[in-house]
Amino acid sequence: MTTNARFTALAASLPSTVPFTGPEEMERRRGAPFAARLGANENGFGPSPRAIAAMQAAATEMWQYGDPASHDLRQALAAHWGCGVDNIVVGTGIDGLLGELVRLTVSAGEAIVTSLGAYPTFNYHVAGFGGRIETVPYRDDAEDLPALLARAAQVDAKLVYFANPDNPMGSWQRGADVAAALDALPEGCLLILDEAYGEFAPEEASVPLAVDDPRVIRMRTFSKGYGLAGARVGYALAAPELISAFDKVRNHFGMNRGAQAAALAALQDQDWLAHVRDEVTRARDEIARIGAAQGLTALPSATNFVALDCGGDGARARALVAALAEEGVFVRMPFVAPQDRCIRISCGPSADLDALEAALPRALARLDPVA
């Protein structure tokens, strides 16, 4: 016997595999740092200088727990969105909030619906609480909301996951279309509208729904547009009855104090966000140009990453991801066909894209060596 712990039947049944290998672990395995870190959709243009200053100031206060209510941040978010403080819960990134939402709503054996190849961490949480994952294929490299909702009705789903814009493909849908589609949402089914990349999307993608709409919970993050992935701050917007339920299960003192300060400062610097948006737009074009020069086609993107169609199957894309890593460039790719014909490259500063431009032909040459 190596532990007295008697695991629950559910815990004993869960796989021990780790959802993602982080870039640091990949660097340890290859024995060298990456020249360009373009795989995790991090925002290499960085957070607002005001957010950096806020974290540096908070460092000397770090002996104090953070405010468990995240009061100041929620006040600022309420003003930003024109809603009530009781419409907002703050958590350790969308990942943490998704886990809490699944815990609140999904009992063992109950169904959720998501797209085949959509955000795997949501599936990790659903599996972790014994939920049943029902999937619907992408349609033209986009999540197919009408099909998701139809499946939800068939399987009596508790939750439907839908990201707009989408990760990993970068596609986006008109907000008016999303809102109209919700007429088909079954009663008792909640739509998770993951807007992690919302700060990069065109105005037209914003979904015209009241924050109190009972059918939807919107997830937002400071990891992407605001460049604070390492801080771990996300939030959800929904009706107060749903928001207050998070207080039943969340880790109340779980927020890093400096992260709270950083998010507040970042939110108050919308000029920096506009600057980042411009840089991202430029970088998307640059990635498309670098890909095109090697015969790879960029898909349209409303995010801070670009899916490059490698013109082959998943095996070829996987080989290219591995070859790029050997050339010092960290990228990732979609998990399932047909999306896995692509590799996914995050936007970053010029030096990173220069490294990509240098590495891509060399990586491709590794795949197709001259005989």
Near a second copy by CB under 8 A: residue from 185, 207, 299, 343: 185
Within 124-163, the residues that bind a second copy by CB under 8 A are 128, 158
Near a second copy by CB under 8 A: residue from 29, 61, 202, 297: 61
CB of 263 to a second copy, least distance (A): 11
Within 235-274, the residues that bind a second copy by CB under 8 A are 238-242, 244-245, 247-249, 251-259, 262
Q: CA angle 311-318-324, nearest 5°? A: 95
323, 293 Cβ separation under 8 angstroms: no
Near a second copy by CB under 8 A: residue from 71, 80, 139, 289: 71
Within 280-339, the residues that bind a second copy by CB under 8 A are none
- 68: preceding bond cis by omega (within 30 degrees): no
Residue 22 engages a second copy in binding (rule: CB under 8 A): yes
Within 80-109, the residues that bind a second copy by CB under 8 A are 92-93, 95-96, 99, 103-107
Interface stretch with a second copy, choices 78-86, 137-145, 200-208, 222-230 (CB under 8 A) = 222-230
User: Which residues fall within 8 angstroms of residue 271, CB to CB, at 6 or more apart?
Assistant: none
User: Which residues fall within 8 angstroms of residue 32, CB to CB, at 6 or more apart?
Assistant: 328
158, 110 Cβ separation under 8 angstroms: yes
Give how many residues touch a second copy by CB under 8 A.
Answer: 96
170, 199 Cβ separation under 8 angstroms: no
69 or 358: CB nearest a second copy: 69
Residue 368 engages a second copy in binding (rule: CB under 8 A): no
User: Which residues fall within 8 angstroms of residue 67, CB to CB, at 6 or more apart?
Assistant: 255, 257, 260
Within 187-206, the residues that bind a second copy by CB under 8 A are 187-191
Alpha helix locations (H) across 7-129?
9-13, 23-30, 49-58, 71-81, 93-105, 120-128
Dist. CA 117–CA 122, nearest whole Å: 11
Near a second copy by CB under 8 A: residue from 67, 177, 269, 354: 67
Near a second copy by CB under 8 A: residue from 29, 32, 62, 204: 62
Near a second copy by CB under 8 A: residue from 59, 315, 337, 365: 59
Best CA proximity match to 234, nearest among 249, 220, 251, 216: 220
Near a second copy by CB under 8 A: residue from 34, 169, 195, 215: 215
Within 38-57, the residues that bind a second copy by CB under 8 A are 40, 42-47, 51-52, 55-56
Interface stretch with a second copy, choices 37-45, 132-140, 287-295, 336-344 (CB under 8 A) = 37-45
42 or 166: CB nearest a second copy: 42
Dist. CA 186–CA 192, nearest whole Å: 14
Q: What SS3 class is residue 163? A: strand
